[in-house]
Amino acid sequence: MITIEHDRDNYLVCRVSGRLTEADYEAAVPEIENELLLRDDSLRLMIVLEDFRGWDIAALWEDLKFDVRHAGDFGRIAVLGDSKLEKWGTTLSKPFLGSEMRYFDLKARAAARAWLSEGRAQQPAAPS
């Protein structure tokens, strides 16, 4: 399952759990692509892997097509997980997306948030 949240710090959070199917991509990709269209700057992502168990073959194909279609469209991508395999997968994904990606342990969410926010213009404070 892929759940998308809009973070107050101006990036998307994609929560990924279980074994991904083609239907998961069919539901999530249009929302991500719409967000890409609405941005004046590059879209930054936080991908949170929680009990992630991989992809079925159709979902893996959708993931690869998405990565190639949107190579260079994203800013920083923080991947949070809890296994060496997830860390290794993040490293393998870098060439396909052409984005700056970094793996963080699930417990390091604050560090991932700080890294995603680096180099971004600060939003003006709301008038009181």
Q: Which two tokens stand for residue 54?
A: 């991989």
**pLDDT value of position 120:** 63
**pLDDT value of position 126:** 38
| Identity of the residue numbered 71 | A
* Matching residue, tokens 């991989």: 54
Among residues 55, 45, 58, 114, which one has the least CA distance to residue 85? 55
User: Taking the CA atoms of the chain, what radius of gyration do you get in angstroms?
Assistant: 15
Q: Can you give the pLDDT of all 128 residues of the chain as single tens digits?
A: 999 998 777 789 999 999 999 999 999 999 999 998 888 788 899 999 999 988 899 998 898 888 888 888 888 999 999 988 888 878 777 777 778 999 999 999 999 999 998 876 544 433 44
**pLDDT value of position 107:** 95
Rounded (10°) CA dihedral 59, 63, 65, 71: 180
CA-to-CA distance for 73 and 33, rounded, in angstroms?
10
Secondary structure letter of residue 56 according to DSSP: -
Q: Does domain 2-117 have CATH number 3.40.50.10600?
A: yes
Please check whether residue 42 is in contact with residue 71, taking contact to mean a CB–CB distance below 8 angstroms.
Answer: no
Sorted by where each begins, the domain ranges of the chain are 2-117
